[in-house]
Structure 1
Amino acid sequence: MNQPIQIFSEIAPLKRVLLHRPGAELENLMPDYLDRLLFDDIPFLDQAQKEHDFFAETLRNRGVEVLYLEDLAAETLTTTGAKEAFLEDYLNETTILDEEIRNEVRNFFLSIEDNRAFIDHTMAGLKKSEVEISKASNLTAIVETEYPFLIDPMPNLYFTRDPFATIGHSVSLNRMYSATRRRETLYGKQIFTHHPMFARNETNFLYHRDETTRMEGGDQLILSDKIVAIGISQRTEVASIEKIAETIFATEPSFEHILAFNIGEERKFMHLDTVFTMVDHDKFTIHPEIEGELSLYSITKHKDSVRVFEEKDTLENILCRYLDLPEVLLIRCGGDDLAAAAREQWNDGSNTLAIAPGEVVVYDRNTITNRLLKEAGVKLNEISGSELVRGRGGPRCMSMPFIRE
């Protein structure tokens, strides 16, 4: 484990992972502003934390070291000026234009002496009622007077897979689809640049948050040490895949092919890993609704350039060819029942987290998909997710692997 990032597989035994335990940011969700924050409902925080703690303990019981985003971020703030520098980046990502208000907000955050409490509060957002604001000096500063927040909460942060993703020994620090999630990547930038675990090796970034086209980690799957799958989706653009392909091929020499899955731009699909995940060397979960419609393209390293082909074959045959397998099994989310498939995909039945070949973590509520996984010989570690699932993400969404064997 001399490399802090080592991800060349979706299924190799998981050794170290990053999570974020849901916090006060969930209690700052309000019914009138759910769309703004990409939520459909408001989870009950106490229960969501119990479910998340059980998820973390399930991983620990299987030999996985669990790290927390909020802890690592706080541990980067110990040097002189580090907190102030992070706060300036953070404030630059807000909509606060009035300099007087910005100074008040800056003073509020810098008054929080404990680094972990400081990080927690940046994640939770800032209500107008928490800060003494003198009269605003310009019109822009006083519009939206009914809106209760100076700085929005970040309720999606417990889906640590999306803001940054690990590929090989490198990091894709992503440009998020929605402005409300772009601040999340600040924590990744801070950790991978300044935390001692990563700074001593100088992290290689395959993509950066300042790129102009969007990319999210739920669309990035590592099928083998040669194959990366990336979804063309609501959250990831074609141009982003072309950009990252160049940097992957240039700096991660083991990878030879990128398979681009065009899954469409519907919110119910959102990311590739909500409709397709790898659970064993030759087994995959899939949402049946994308099977017939799926367009798939291969981007292949060729000397000093890349070649792009549209794959004209079944998904099974394409996977067999690229992964050098005699056959593969596609396990349908919800089976052949369209109603069950829609319901269980909405509840992240396809969003499995492999912690070893043929062993996964799943939500217990997706009973049909889970039965089919068991029948296929996959070992399940079931967790409750009645509150966590309200954010529309499952075990893979909630985990960012750092090291697999």
Structure 2
Amino acid sequence: MGDNARQSSCLLKGGRFFLLEKERYLSDRFALEPASDKQLLQDIWGTPWGVFCPVGPIRSVLMHRPGEEVLQIPKDQYEVEAGSLRLREVHGRSLSKGRGQDPPDLGLLQAQHDGIAEALRKAGAEVLMLDQPESGVWPDRMFTRDLGMVLPGGVILSRFALYLRQGETRIAQETLGRIGVPILGAIHGQGFMEGGSFALLDSRTAAVGRSERVNDAGIEQLRQLLRIQEVELLTIDMPSDKIHLDEAFLMLDTDKALVNPRLLPHWFLKALHERNITMLAVDPEDPPLTINALAVAPGKVLFSSEGCPTAELLQKNGIEVIPVEVSEIYKMGGGIHCVTLPLVREEDPFGRASAVTPRQ
């Protein structure tokens, strides 16, 4: 084939496929690539959807700007996102006061949510919004993290434990279908699973926090779905007053994590150490949800402007901190991590090895 002919074969056809790629999709050959193959995702789904590195640069994120629905929550039920309902059954002094606060300042809540969205855009992410439901209030739907577990190639849909949030799965499915994100599975039956209690450590290892919102049936279904993707699942028992893993653990870089060691079992800290992950402890003087932050790229994190001692520790260890206001979001029981669901994270742009390499 001459140079002109070779160049002609590589011209864009229809603005999407190369000519040779078009011939590929008209063939009757078997597809050899996995469903998570980036070129296949780009060609068929329009975007290489999924999280290919737990701290890779965020290119697409799902959010919901809070509206009047948050004012429909009964006064004694604020902070359900981070509150253990089981502690209400324990008589005597309790670590949990339930929501029991005045309703949030909606204008301030929206302004702080807008600030997070703008910071994400400045970091290079497209901010996509959750569809409005056809019926139902679903007042906690600003916490989009809980809608699913995102892997290379798509998302596994959650199933919520509380009636308060049951309708959010349908909204998520409709939104993701409209956007074109592949659905890799869903939690069904008696299983409960929420995305705030799920974290990828690297491309082959994930962790889930078992709590009143995440039960054994949900964990077993998730484990089976992850096995298809060749991802190992570690299960961590959360303390009785915590419902999600993102209250105790956050990946900051491929080899650094923010942890609350008082809330994590010794074997998990040992597993992180054996994977060459440097652990940085959140300062106990900072607000409880300070750890609920978000890495927007390796070593670059959106962080509460109130968490000054922890932010100083991160900066001393080479982490770039982008401060954002979240005080009113805290009133709702969530943080930065809770209100963001990354749908596209690229691989580590520096090409560093995965943190799973065991220590010698």
TM interval, short-chain normalised: 0.7 to 0.9
Shift of 1:155: 2.3
Aligned with 1:54 (options 112, 115, 118): 115
Cα contact 2:80–2:332 (8 A) shared by 1: no
Q: Determine the structure 2 residue equivalent to 1:280.
A: 253
Note if 1:217 corresponds to 2:195: yes
Aligned with 1:387 (options 328, 334, 339): 328
Q: Determine the structure 2 residue equivalent to 1:89.
A: none
Cα contact 2:79–2:334 (8 A) shared by 1: no
Shift of 1:121: 7.1
Shift of 1:316: 4.1
Unpaired stretches in structure 1, ≥5 consecutive residues: 74-118, 126-152, 296-312
Q: Determine the structure 2 residue equivalent to 1:12.
A: 56
Could you say if the C-alpha distance between residues 237 and 59 of structure 1 is closer, same or farther in structure 2, counting changes exceeding 3 Å?
same
1:15-36 C-alpha deviation (Å, 9 max, x unpaired): 1101110111122234255488
1:61-89 C-alpha deviation (Å, 9 max, x unpaired): 111111111xxx3xxxxxxxxxxxxxxxx
| Partners of 1:290 and 1:6 in 2: CA distance | 29
Cα contact 1:175–1:211 (8 A) shared by 2: no
Shift of 1:369: 1.6
One-letter code aligned to 1:389: Y
Note if 1:319 corresponds to 2:262: no
1:169-188 C-alpha deviation (Å, 9 max, x unpaired): 13221111211111111111
Cα contact 1:234–1:264 (8 A) shared by 2: no
Cα contact 1:273–1:350 (8 A) shared by 2: yes
| Partners of 1:185 and 1:228 in 2: CA distance | 22
Shift of 1:168: 1.9
Aligned positions of 1:4-403 closer than 5 A: 4-32=48-76, 34=78, 39-41=99-101, 42-69=103-130, 73=131, 119=132, 122=135, 125=136, 153-193=137-177, 195=178, 197-198=180-181, 203-208=182-187, 210-250=188-228, 252-253=229-230, 255=231, 257-266=232-241, 269-291=242-264, 294=265, 313=267, 315-321=268-274, 323=275, 325=276, 328-334=277-283, 338=284, 340=285, 344-345=287-288, 348-403=289-344
- Cα RMSD between the aligned structures? 2.2
Cα contact 2:80–2:333 (8 A) shared by 1: no
Q: Which moved more, 1:368-377 or 1:54-63?
A: 368-377
TM-score by length of 2: 0.73
Q: Determine the structure 1 residue equivalent to 2:4.
A: none
1:68-111 C-alpha deviation (Å, 9 max, x unpaired): 11xxx3xxxxxxxxxxxxxxxxxxxxxxxxxxxxxxxxxxxxxx
Unpaired stretches in structure 2, ≥5 consecutive residues: 1-37, 84-98, 347-360
Cα contact 1:333–1:344 (8 A) shared by 2: no
| Partners of 1:36 and 1:240 in 2: CA distance | 20
| Partners of 2:62 and 2:173 in 1: CA distance | 14
| Partners of 1:378 and 1:40 in 2: CA distance | 36
Could you say if the C-alpha distance between residues 238 and 265 of structure 1 is closer, same or farther in structure 2, counting changes exceeding 3 Å?
farther
Could you say if the C-alpha distance between residues 183 and 67 of structure 1 is closer, same or farther in structure 2, counting changes exceeding 3 Å?
same
Could you say if the C-alpha distance between residues 67 and 332 of structure 1 is closer, same or farther in structure 2, counting changes exceeding 3 Å?
same
Cα contact 2:191–2:221 (8 A) shared by 1: no
Shift of 1:265: 3.0
Percent identity over the alignment is: 28
Shift of 1:350: 1.0
SS in 1 for 2:128: strand
TM-score by length of 1: 0.66
Greater share of residues in helix: 1
Could you say if the C-alpha distance between residues 178 and 225 of structure 1 is closer, same or farther in structure 2, counting changes exceeding 3 Å?
same
| Partners of 2:273 and 2:260 in 1: CA distance | 19
Could you say if the C-alpha distance between residues 374 and 33 of structure 1 is closer, same or farther in structure 2, counting changes exceeding 3 Å?
closer
One-letter code aligned to 1:319: L
SS in 2 for 1:388: helix
Shift of 1:120: 6.1
Shift of 1:196: 5.1
Could you say if the C-alpha distance between residues 364 and 36 of structure 1 is closer, same or farther in structure 2, counting changes exceeding 3 Å?
closer
SS in 2 for 1:50: helix
Could you say if the C-alpha distance between residues 188 and 66 of structure 1 is closer, same or farther in structure 2, counting changes exceeding 3 Å?
same
Could you say if the C-alpha distance between residues 181 and 249 of structure 1 is closer, same or farther in structure 2, counting changes exceeding 3 Å?
same
